[in-house]
Amino acid sequence: MLRLRQTLLLLTALLSGISAAEAALYGFSEANPYTYEEEILDIRVPPEKIINYRQKMRDNVIMLSNFAKSKNRDFQILVHEGEELLDKYLWEYHLEGYNAARRAGVNASDPTFLAKLRAFTPDHRPAVGSPGSYYIQSIDGIVLNNLLCRDRALSPAAKNSGLKIISIDKCDNPLKYDAALDASAGREILLYGFFNPDFAFNNAKTQPLVNENARNIFKLADAGNILFLIEENNYADKDDFINDIRNSNFDVIVIRPLFHNKIPFTPEEINSLKYKKNGTRRLIIAMMNVSEADDTEYYWKKEWKLGVPSWLKRASFVNPHAAITEYWHEDWKKIIAKYFQGIVDSGFDGAFLTGTQNYRYFEKQTPLD
- Region of residue 146 (left: phi > 0; alpha: psi -120 to 50; beta: else): left
Percent of the residues in the chain that have a pLDDT greater than 70, as a whole number: 84
* Residue extents of the structural domains in the chain: 4-47+57-88+131-365
pLDDT of residue 112: 64
Q: Among 7-16, 61-70, 242-251, 358-367, name the one with the lowest average pLDDT.
A: 7-16
Give the burial string for 37-71 (b: 16+ CB within 10 Å, else e). eeeeeeeeebeeebebbbbbbbbbbbbbbeebbee
pLDDT of residue 226: 97
Give tens-digit pLDDT for 276-288: 999 999 999 999 9
> Quick check: helix, strand or coil at residue 164?
strand
Give the burial string for 318-343 (b: 16+ CB within 10 Å, else e). bbbbbbbbbbbbeebbebbeebbeeb
Percent of the residues in the chain that have a pLDDT greater than 90, as a whole number: 63
Element (H, E) at 319: none
Q: Per-residue pLDDT for 7 more than 90? A: no
Give yes or no for a contact between 325 and 292, defined as CB atoms under 8 angstroms apart: yes
The pLDDT-based confidence of 126 (bands split at 50, 70, 90) is low
Q: Per-residue pLDDT for 129 more than 70? A: no
pLDDT of residue 151: 85
pLDDT of residue 10: 30
* Torsions phi, psi for 174 (to 5 deg): -60, -35
Half-sphere exposure of 51 (CA within 13 A, CB side): 13
DSSP state of 24: T
Residue 164 to residue 139: CA distance in whole angstroms: 10
Between 366 and 62, the more confident residue is 62
The pTM assigned to this predicted structure is 0.86
Residue 180 to residue 130: CA distance in whole angstroms: 34
C-alpha 166: how far from its chain's center? Answer: 13
Tell me the C-alpha to C-alpha distance, in Å, between residue 335 and each of 153, 294, 341, 350. Answer: 35, 12, 10, 18
Residue 22 to residue 29: CA distance in whole angstroms: 6
Q: Where are the alpha helices (DSSP H) in the chain?
A: 36-39, 53-71, 90-103, 131-138, 156-159, 174-187, 238-246, 267-273, 330-346, 359-365
* Closest CA relative to residue 208, chosen from 224, 197, 192: 192
- Beta strands 164-170 and 190-194 are parallel
What are the DSSP calls for 65-86, one per residue?
HHHHHHH-TT-EEEEES-GGGS
Q: Per-residue pLDDT for 218 more than 80? A: yes
Residue 310 to residue 329: CA distance in whole angstroms: 10
* Closest CA relative to residue 64, chosen from 86, 85, 79: 79
- State the sign of the Cα–Cα–Cα–Cα dihedral 345, 349, 350, 351: negative
* Torsions phi, psi for 84 (to 5 deg): -70, -10
